[in-house]
Structure 1
Amino acid sequence: MSNQHLRLGVNVLASGRHDAAWKTLPDPASLSTDIDRFIAISQSAERALLDAIFLADGPGGLVEESYLRPWRALDPTVLNTALSQHTEYIGLVTTTSSLFGHPYTVARQIASLDYVSQGRAAWNIITSQTSPALQAYGLEKGWDQSERYQRAEEFVQIIQNLWDSFPLEAIEADLDSSVFVNPKKLNPFDLQGQHFSSRGALSVPRTPQGRPVIFQAGQSADSKAFGARYADALFTGQRILENAQGFYQDTKALAASYGRQPDHLLVMPGLFPILGSTDEEAQRHKRKLDDLLDSRSLRAELARHLALDVDDLADLDAPLPHDKIRANEALVPIASRWHRKEMLSEAHAHNWNTRELLFSNIIGGHRIYTGTPEGFAQNMIDWVDAKAADGFNLNIDVQPAGLDVIADYVVPALQKQGRFRREYQTRTLREHLGLPIPQLHSVEQALAV
C-alpha cells in the first residue's frame, strides 16, 4: 500500500461550485465582493490543512455564467494579498492570462505576493480568449491554437527569467562602499520574442520560494506539452479513471522528455464532492440543490457542447440521443471537444439518461462524487494509488459549510490511513507540495518557441 500524502487544494468561489448554491445563502447580492466571506473560506481551508486555495479568473468583462450565479468580481492577486494577512500556512494561487497585458506586470505582482505571504504564492497560467476578454482589451479577433501557445511560451519564459534576474546576493547593503545593490551580481537578460519582449532585471529580489509555484490549467495536447515543460502542477478535468491514468502517464512522460524529474510535475484533477452521513443523504442533498437549478439554461449549455438543438434534449428522462450526438460530432466547437469526450465517457460508463448527464456539473466540468466523507476519502486514495492523480483541486458545493465537512470528516479519514498531514510542518507552498526550489534560470538571449 502506498503512503503517499495527497495534495489537496480548493477552488474558492463566493457561494460554492454548485450553480444553485447562492440561492441557499443570505444576502446573495453581496457574495462576490464580500471580503469577510472570502476570509472565512480561506481560514476554513487552512483549518482543513489544505495545500492551497485557488482563485480562478478570466480576463475581461462578464462571461455568460456571470448572469446565472455569483461571478468572480475581485482581482485574484489583490484578493490573495488580503487573504495572506488572515492566514499563515495555506498556499495562495492567483490566475492571470498569458495572452493579454505584459509579463513584467505579472512577474512583479506574483513575486510581491510571495514576499507578502512569506513564500505561499503561486501563478495559475490560462490561455483562454473569450469574447468578453477580446472586447475588454479592444481586440477584433483572437489567436489560433498555435499562436496562443507561442504567446504563452514567450510570456512564461520572460517571467521565469525575471524571477531569476535579481539574486539575493546582489543586495550588499555595504555601509562603507555605499553600495546597496551590486549591479555586477544581477542576472539581467534580454529576450526578444515575436509577441513579447523584455530586458533587464525585476525590481523584486528572488522570492522566498526561489520562484513562485506555477500551475497550469488545461488538457488539450498543446496544453499538456506546455504544462509538462513549464508548470509545477497541472489543474485538469478528468472524469473517468482510465482517461485520468492516460493523462497522468502522458504528462509525466512529457516532463521527462524535457529533462525534468516527473515527480516534480504534479497532476491535480478537479473534483466536486457532495457529501452526507450516508449515501442516501448525500443524494438527497444533491437533488435538493439540483432542483434549484434552471434546467432550461442547462439544456442549452449541454446542447452547445454536443452540437444539438435544445429540443433534442426536451425529455429529461429519455436516453441520450446517441445517434444524433455521433452524427453531429464534426459540428462540435473546438473548445467543447475535450469536455464533450469526458462527459460522454462518464455517461456511457454509468448508462446515464439526459437528466443524469444534465446534472453532472456540465458547467464546472469536474467529476462529482456523491456519498459519505469516508467513501470520498477512499475514492481519492484509489485514484492516487492507481496513478491517475497526485492529488485534487476540490470544488465545494456550498461555501463554507461544505468545506467544513472536508475539515471535520474527510481530512480525518485521510489522516487515519496515513495519507494526509496532521499539522503543517512546512512554511512555503513549494514545501507543502514536496517541490524543490528551482535552480537559477539560464540567461536566454532569444526565444526558441
Structure 2
Amino acid sequence: MSKRQIKLGLFLLPTGQHVAAWRLPETVADMHMNAAYYAELARELEAAKFDLLFLADGDGIHGGWPLEALSHTANRVVAQFEPLTLLSALSQHTSHVGLVATASTTYYDPYRVARLFGSLDVLNGGRSGWNVVTTANTDSSENFGYTETPSAQERYDRAEEFVEVVKGLWRSWDEDAFIRNKETGEFFDPSKLHRLDHQGKHFTVKGPLNVPRSPQGHPVIVQAGSSGPGKALAARTAEIVFTAQPDKKKAQDFYSEIKALAETHGRSPDDLKIMPGMGVTVAETEEEAKAKVAELEALIDPVVGLTHLSSFLGFDVTGYPVDGPLPEIPEASAKIIQSRQKLFIDMARDENLTLRETYIRASVSKGHLNVVGGPTQVADLMEEWFADKAADGFNVMPSAMTGGIANFARLVVPELQRRGLFREEYEGTTLRENLGLKCPE
C-alpha cells in the first residue's frame, strides 16, 4: 500500500484571500480579467504538482454591499470570468492539474450542469471537478427571477436530487460505446446507451446525455459546507470536502464525523478527501511573513473590513464602535452561510476580540485556518494536521496571489517533499488518479 500523502488545491480568488491584497504595489490591477495571468498561474501549480485549482464563483455581485464599500474592494466577484469558460481555456495550457469550478444546484438545472462539466471533463482528459453549492445570497436569486432565497432545507433537498440526476446522466454511455467503424457503418453500440427517465420531486429528466464518458468516468464531486445539511450532503455525495476549520480539535471532530457519516451510506472513508482551507503567508523567515501581513492590515479600508464581516454575520455591524466587542448577533437566516456565522461569533467570544480584531481576522482568512511564517513553520502545521487526521490535504489560500503561490511552491512544497508528505511526480493524468479516488463504474 502506498504511503498516505497530502493533497493540495489552490483556492483561487484572483488577487488573493486578503481583502486589501489588490492594493499591494506588486499586484496586477486587472488580474480578474487577465487570461494570460490565469494561464501562468495554472502552469505554476502544475509545475509544483498541485492536485487542483479551485475556482470559487457566484452568479451575482455578492453580499448586498453598500456601493461605497463595494467600490473599494476587488474581493467580491464584481468582475470575473464565468468559470467553465475560463477552465476550458486553462485546459489548453495544462495537462495534469485538476480544474474545479462551482455551479449552483439552486439556479442551474441538472441536464445543463451534466453537459457542461461532462464536456469540460472530456476536453481536458479527465481533470474536472464540480463544486456543488446551494447558494444562499439574495444577489444571485434576484438574477434568476426569485424574490427571496429558498430556505436551507429547500435548497439542500433540491441539491440531493440534483446531484443524483447529474450522476445518472453521466452514466448515459458505457466506456466502449463508440465503435466508429467506417466499414460496417456502426457509429456506436445501441446496447451501451442508457436513458435515465428520472421522475422525482424536483426534476423530470429523460436523458440520455449527449456527452460520452470521460477518461476518469465523470468529474469529481466537490462540496463545501459545514452546516448540518451540508455535512449530510457531503457524506452521501462528495468526493472532496472543502471546509473552514481554524481550530485543530474542531477540524478533527469534523473529519471523523464526515468519514463516519460516509460509512453509514456504504462508502469507504477513503472515498472522500477532507481539505480544509488554509490561509497562508509564507516567506524566507517568519519576520518577513509577518511584515507582509502588517502591510496588508494597514491597507484595510475600515468600511470594507466592517462590511465584509457583516456579510458573514448576516447582521450590519458598521455602526458599532470598532474597538468595542462584537454586538449580539441574531440567529442566521437562509441568506448566509450559517456555519460561517457561528464560526466568527464563537471566535470573537472565545478570544475576547474587538470588532476591529474580528474584521481583521475575517479579512485575511475568512474564518479558515491561517498560518504566517517560514517554510518549516508552515510545513510543521500541515504535517501535524495531516498526521492527526484533521485533514487529508489543504485548499491553499494565499493572502496575496502575486508572489504568494510562487513562494508556497518554492519554499513549502520542497519541504513537504523532503518529508515524504507530498508527491514529486503526478501519479497519473486524471484528477481521480492523482487524488487516489476510484473511477466510477
Q: Quick check: TM above 0.5?
A: yes
Match of 1:421 among 420, 423, 430: 423
- Count of residues in correspondence between the two structures: 430
2: CA distance, partners of 1:376 / 1:51? 19
* Bigger mean CA offset, 234-243 vs 178-187: 178-187
- Quote how far apart the aligned CAs of 1:222 are: 0.3
Q: Secondary structure at the match of 1:45?
A: helix
Query: What is the identity, as a one-letter code, of the residue corresponding to 2:14?
Result: A
Tell me by how many angstroms 1:296 deviates. 2.5
Cα separation, 2, equivalents of 1:235 and 1:8: 12
1:145-170 Cα distance to aligned partner (Å, 9 max, x none): 22111211121111101111111322
**Map of 1:55 onto structure 2:** 55
Number of the residue aligned with 2:434 = 432
The separation in 1 between residues aligned to 2:52 and 2:224, in whole angstroms, is 15
Cα distance in 1 for residues equivalent to 2:314 and 2:189? 60
Structure 2, unaligned runs of 5 or more: none
Q: Does 1:196 align with 2:198?
A: no
CA distance in 2 between counterparts of 1:381 and 1:214 reads 26
Gap regions ≥5 residues in structure 1: 440-449
- Spell out the pairing of 1:372-391 with structure 2 (5 A cutoff): 372-391=374-393
Q: Distance in 1 between matches of 2:396 and 2:168?
A: 32
1:38 match: 38
Q: Which segment drifts farther, 223-232 or 419-428?
A: 419-428
Q: Summarize the Cα distance change of 1:232–1:36 in structure 2 as closer, same or farther, 3 Å threshold.
A: same
Q: How big is the shift at 1:273?
A: 0.3
1:402 aligns with 2:404: yes
Read off the aligned partner of 2:405 and give its amino acid letter: L
Matched, 1:310 2:318: yes
Of all paired residues, the percent bearing the same amino acid is 36
Residue 349 (structure 1) shift: 6.0
C-alpha displacement of 1:339: 1.8
- Counterpart in the other structure of 1:103: 110
**1:172-230 per-position Cα deviation (integer Å, ceiling 9, x unaligned):** 22345422122222121111122222112111111110111110111101010001101
CA RMSD of aligned residues (A): 2.2
SS in 1 for 2:206: strand
Alignment partners' CA distance in 1, 2:352 and 2:150:
38
What's the counterpart of residue 18 of structure 1?
18
Encode CA deviations 1:351-399: one digit per residue, 9 max, x unaligned. 5444432211357332221111211111011111111111111111222
- 1:185 aligned residue: 192
CA distance in 1, matches of 2:62, 2:244: 23
Paired residue type of 1:198: V
* Pair 1:81 & 2:113 matched: no
Map 1:258-407 to 2 at 5 A: 258-302=265-309, 305=313, 307=315, 309-315=317-323, 320-321=325-326, 325=327, 328-333=328-333, 335=336, 337-347=338-348, 352-362=353-363, 364-407=366-409
Structure 1 range deviating more: 354-363 or 79-88: 354-363
The alignment partner of 1:82 has SS state of helix
Change (3 A) 1:137 1:61: farther
Contact 1:361–1:368 (8 Å) recurs in 2:
no
SS at match of 1:37: helix
- Pair 1:361–1:302, CA change in 2 (3 A): closer
**Which residue is equivalent to 1:163?**
170
Aligned: 1:69 with 2:70: no
Superposed displacement of residue 113, structure 1? 1.0
Q: Which amino acid aligns with 1:96?
A: A
Alignment of 1:120 onto 2:127: yes
Task: Report the counterpart of residue 442 of structure 1 in structure 2.
Answer: none
Partners of 2:309 and 2:196 in 1: CA distance: 48
Opposite residue 313 of structure 1, the aligned amino acid is: P
Distance between the aligned counterparts of 1:79 and 1:347, measured in 2? 38
SS for the counterpart of 1:39 is: helix
Q: Decide whether the 8 Å contact of 2:309 with 2:362 is kept in 1.
A: no
Distance 1:345 1:125, change over 3 A: same
4+ aligned runs moved over 6 Å, structure 1: none
